[in-house]
Amino acid sequence: MKRALYFLSLLLLVSFVAVGCGGEKKEEKKAEAPKATGIKIGSLSPLTGQYAADGNDIKNGVLAAIEVMNPEMGALGPVTLQAEDTSCDPRQAVAAANKLISEKVTAVIGAYCSSATIPAAEPLMAAKIFMITPASTNEKVTESGHKYMYRTCGRDDDQSKAAVKFTQEYLKAKTIYLVDDKTTYSQGLADNVEKLASAAGLKVLGHEHVNQGDKDFSAVLTKVKAAKPDVFYVSLQNSAAAAPMLIQIARMGIKTKILAQDAVYHPQLMELAKKDAEGVFLTFGYTDKETASYKKFADAYKKLGEPGAYSAYAYDSAVAYLKAVKAAGSTDPEKVKAELMKLDFAGASKQIKYKENGDSGSNYVIQVVKDGKFDNFWNPETGQLYKK
């Protein structure tokens, strides 16, 4: 009897682990065991914790790039990936960067959070390892004068300009309320928007900060509801944080226009917030999904799941590096850098051409959530709506 009882308890504990019916199974496609020869690149992104979805997008983007580029690398190949987890934590990011250095990678694609990218860059630069970030938009990333630092996505100063222009010219707003969750990226961006907005004559009714990982925004939203702003600017570190906020905004009956930013751009937003995500505006880099290069990427990515916000940028970052290595004929940092500066090709996300400081230019447009999908909405360059 006692034995049976113990057996039963053991079974329950095991069932706990097995209860994952219907759980997401698109996890982990381990790269093959690294070989001594060939090119080894690393990726840095949050693979666990609250930003895991975005982090895995980046890893998968690099995997797709390796699959596409591997046949082209000839005697230099094969290319292998060493994916490390930052958890979006500055300390862990530095530790992971050091691990990649000891693994002798020649380039690192990452990281996701600007607050992880900036400190992780220090040891990588000292070891003359390329760091190409597909997602860190904070201005400071490329402003430290690092020689091997590149950025495939846009910059937050440009992003905030697009946001304020849209607020003023299209929404014709007079007042704005801002919220951020205190990361280098999210607060930096919200501060930029606040500065530009008040310079442009908008009245800033308030700027609140919440904590990373918060799910209850009732206090902030109560204030927003009382202030009745024309636009509510939401700068949170990812879509999983924004979704509960949108749900609570709808629940509290707040009718304000909502403008978010690139970190919130992820299919997960609609999955979590469902109907409550409808009509939300956000700033994101313009990507034409009909180009040949995007289709090539989408094909390679297919078996890894649905591309996330920064999958295409991670793909382009890795492709750019591998193209440069191929042209240089070696992984020598000086030679690769010379080739990287010469690159000018149509990537999956945009035209890839790096500038002297490592940036590749911004092309922010306003997108809107419509019928559960992101849709190009307004072009800040021309001030025109996108035609359907």
Partner 1 sequence: MEVFLQQLVNGITLGGVYALVALGYTMVYGIIQLINFAHGEIFAAGGYMGVILISWMVAQGYPPFVCLGVALVLAMGYCALLAMAVEKLVYKPLRSSSRLSVLLSALGMSIFLQNGLMLTQGVYDRAYPGEMVRGGFEIGGAMVSYMQIVIVGITVVLLVGLNTLVFKTRVGKAMRATAQDKTMSALVGINASRIISMTFAIGAALACAAGIMVGMYYGSVRYDMGFVLGVKAFSAAVLGGIGNITGAMLGGLIIGMIEVFAAGYISSEYKDVFAFIILIGVLYFMPTGIMGENVDDTRV
Residues that bind partner 1 (CB under 8 A): 5-6, 8-10, 12-13, 16-25, 27, 47-50, 52-53, 56, 182, 208-211, 213-220, 222-223, 225-226, 240, 243-244, 247-248, 251-253, 268, 271-276
Query: Could you tell me the CA-to-CA distances from 272 to 46, 47, 86, 179, 243 in Å, in that order?
Result: 20, 19, 24, 20, 6
Q: Which is nearer to partner 1, 171 or 204 (CB)?
A: 204
Shortest separation between residue 244's beta carbon and partner 1, angstroms: 4
Q: What does the alpha-carbon distance between residue 272 and residue 250 come to, in Å, rounded to a whole number? A: 13
Shortest separation between residue 291's beta carbon and partner 1, angstroms: 29
Shortest separation between residue 116's beta carbon and partner 1, angstroms: 17
Q: Which residue carries 């990537």 as its tokens?
A: 347
DSSP string across 172-223: --SEEEEEE--SHHHHHHHHHHHHHHHHTT-EEEEEEE--TT----HHHHHH
CB contact set of 369 (below 8 Å; sequence gap of 6+): 269, 270, 277, 278, 279, 280, 282, 375
Shortest separation between residue 62's beta carbon and partner 1, angstroms: 18
Shortest separation between residue 211's beta carbon and partner 1, angstroms: 7
Q: State the amino acid at position 283 in one-letter form.
A: T
CB contact set of 245 (below 8 Å; sequence gap of 6+): 179, 217, 221, 234, 236
Q: What does the alpha-carbon distance between residue 264 and residue 132 come to, in Å, rounded to a whole number? A: 21
Q: What are phi and psi of 83, to 5 degrees?
A: -95, 125
Q: Which is nearer to partner 1, 295 or 303 (CB)?
A: 303
Which of 232, 240, 238, 231 lies closest to 262 in space, CA to CA? 238
Which tokens in the block code for residue 130? Answer: 């390329």
Shortest separation between residue 274's beta carbon and partner 1, angstroms: 4
Q: Which is nearer to partner 1, 175 or 238 (CB)?
A: 238
Q: Which is nearer to partner 1, 12 or 292 (CB)?
A: 12
Which of 233, 174, 171, 227 lies closest to 198 in space, CA to CA? 174
Q: Which is nearer to partner 1, 128 or 223 (CB)?
A: 223
Shortest separation between residue 215's beta carbon and partner 1, angstroms: 4
> 317 and 132 in contact (C-beta within 8 Å)?
yes
Q: Which is nearer to partner 1, 101 or 272 (CB)?
A: 272
Q: Which is nearer to partner 1, 272 or 343 (CB)?
A: 272
Which of 219, 258, 259, 267 lies closest to 240 in space, CA to CA? 267
Shortest separation between residue 24's beta carbon and partner 1, angstroms: 4
Q: Which residue carries 């091997």 as its tokens?
A: 148
Q: What are phi and psi of 105, to 5 degrees?
A: -75, 160
Q: Which is nearer to partner 1, 2 or 388 (CB)?
A: 2
Which of 354, 352, 346 lies closest to 291 in space, CA to CA? 346
Distance spanning both ends of the chain, measured CA to CA? 70
Shortest separation between residue 263's beta carbon and partner 1, angstroms: 14
Q: Which is nearer to partner 1, 223 or 353 (CB)?
A: 223
Which tokens in the block code for residue 382? Answer: 């021309």
Shortest separation between residue 339's beta carbon and partner 1, angstroms: 36
Q: Which is nearer to partner 1, 101 or 254 (CB)?
A: 254
